[in-house]
């Protein structure tokens, strides 16, 4: 398979601002890239301060503890279709804030796995291919 530069350029705004991803029916998450400068800088700073120098000592639990606040702040940008159930059974939409996102990421493995998968999927952050009609 050939490598075509024009089809492999990253869209800088998508890296940091994120793109909407379908999580489930009527649920969408706006996810930025793991290559966003803000995320990479924050991760580097936190890893240097909170992770053991010997990578063999890194555990999944420690990575989640260290990485999830950064993901909630710099990767997960917004959501639609996330609700909480009140004691009376009614549903209330949950507005995205990093603090709330952190709770959901820590408590839901499926949500966490989805966000991590999408933030590392480079094809989500490429410059849109120029329509053939525009080229002609």
pLDDT, mean over the chain: 82
pLDDT of residue 64: 78
pLDDT of residue 43: 86
Residue 20 has pLDDT above 80, yes or no: yes
Say how far residue 15 (Cα) sits from the centre of its chain: 10
Q: Which of 80, 77, 66, 70 is nearest to 32 (CA)?
A: 77
The conformation of residue 54, written as its DSSP 8-state character, comes to S
pTM of the model: 0.78
Q: Which of 71, 72, 95 is nearest to 82 (CA)?
A: 95
pLDDT tens per residue, range 84-133: 999 999 999 999 999 999 999 999 999 999 999 999 887 766 666 333 33
């Amino acid at each position: 398979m050939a490598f075509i530069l024009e089809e492999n350029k990253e869209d800088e705004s998508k890296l940091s601002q994120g793109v909407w991803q379908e999580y489930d029916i009527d649920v969408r998450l706006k996810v930025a890239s793991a290559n966003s400068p803000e995320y990479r800088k924050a991760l580097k700073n936190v890893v240097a301060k909170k992770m053991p120098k010997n990578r063999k000592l890194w555990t999944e639990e420690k990575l989640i503890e260290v990485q999830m606040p950064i993901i909630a702040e710099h990767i997960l940008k917004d959501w639609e279709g996330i609700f909480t159930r009140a004691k009376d059974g009614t549903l209330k939409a949950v507005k995205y804030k990093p603090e709330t996102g952190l709770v959901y990421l820590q408590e839901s493995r499926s949500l966490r796995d989805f966000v991590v998968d999408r933030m590392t999927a480079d094809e989500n952050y490429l410059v849109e291919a120029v329509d053939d009609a525009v080229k002609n």
